[in-house]
């Protein structure tokens, strides 16, 4: 059995090792996600614009913890991933056997059912480095985490994810052995509204998959 940690995977390796195919256009699940028209209240709009402006002035100087604490955390809190049937888990260990590989690592942020520990994962947020520091492949790391979710996915529904590089957000959908990645959304611009709607879509999607 071969072993490799999440942070050591690149998306090209995942495609070759496990036979996954990436679509660069025409992936219906991603397109419908990006077109989500979730309502945003006036108070939410004001808070989003305030967060976006703060990111605009600080994206190049915040370290990773500052980015998480001062921007990502308030943003996802506004989305409101709190529910009796699912919740946010951070810095949790995940592992799985995929083919001849044993993969494992720490997941930055996952929305899943469970009380003390995540059970069925629905959505991953890979909080990557600040803008001027980039060492590994954030897409590869997110994608291998999503493959682990597939191993735990008895219903075989699509898995959603996002990785963040500074101010830029990239959204990923994995369905069976196919996936697609969005173009970047700049959270320090008016794109913040689209980012919020995309997150809200995930919340609504999760609630269609669970027994309320």
In this prediction, residue 129 carries a pLDDT of 62
For 46, the token pair is 């004001």
**What is the domain range of residue 114?**
2-209
Structural domains of the chain, count: 1
Alpha helices of the chain — where are they, by DSSP H?
11-18, 28-34, 42-58, 64-67, 73-79, 138-151, 191-209
Residue 156 has a pLDDT of: 77
**pTM of the predicted structure, to 2 decimals:** 0.92
| Low-confidence residues of the chain: pLDDT under 50 | 212
Residue 154 confidence (pLDDT): 65
Element (H or E) spanning 98, and its range? strand 87-98
């Amino acid at each position: 059995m071969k072993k490799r940690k999440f942070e050591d995977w690149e998306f090209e390796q995942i495609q070759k090792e496990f036979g996954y195919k990436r679509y660069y256009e025409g992936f219906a699940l991603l397109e419908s996600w990006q077109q989500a028209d979730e309502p945003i209240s006036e108070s939410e709009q004001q808070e989003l614009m305030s967060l976006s402006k703060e990111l605009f002035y600080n994206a190049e100087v915040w370290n990773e913890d500052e980015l998480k604490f001062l921007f990502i955390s308030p943003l996802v809190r506004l989305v409101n991933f709190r529910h009796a049937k699912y919740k946010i888990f951070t810095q949790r260990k995940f592992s799985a056997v995929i083919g001849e590989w044993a993969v494992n690592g720490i997941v930055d942020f996952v929305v899943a059912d469970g009380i003390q520990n995540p059970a069925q994962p629905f959505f991953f947020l890979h909080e990557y480095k600040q803008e001027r520091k980039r060492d590994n492949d954030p897409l590869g790391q997110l994608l291998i985490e999503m493959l682990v979710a597939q191993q735990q996915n008895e219903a075989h529904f699509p898995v959603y994810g996002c990785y963040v590089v500074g101010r830029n957000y990239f959204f990923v959908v994995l369905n069976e052995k196919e996936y697609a990645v969005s173009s970047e959304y700049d959270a320090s611009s008016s794109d913040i509204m689209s980012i919020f709607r995309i997150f809200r879509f995930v919340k609504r999607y999760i609630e269609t998959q669970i027994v309320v």
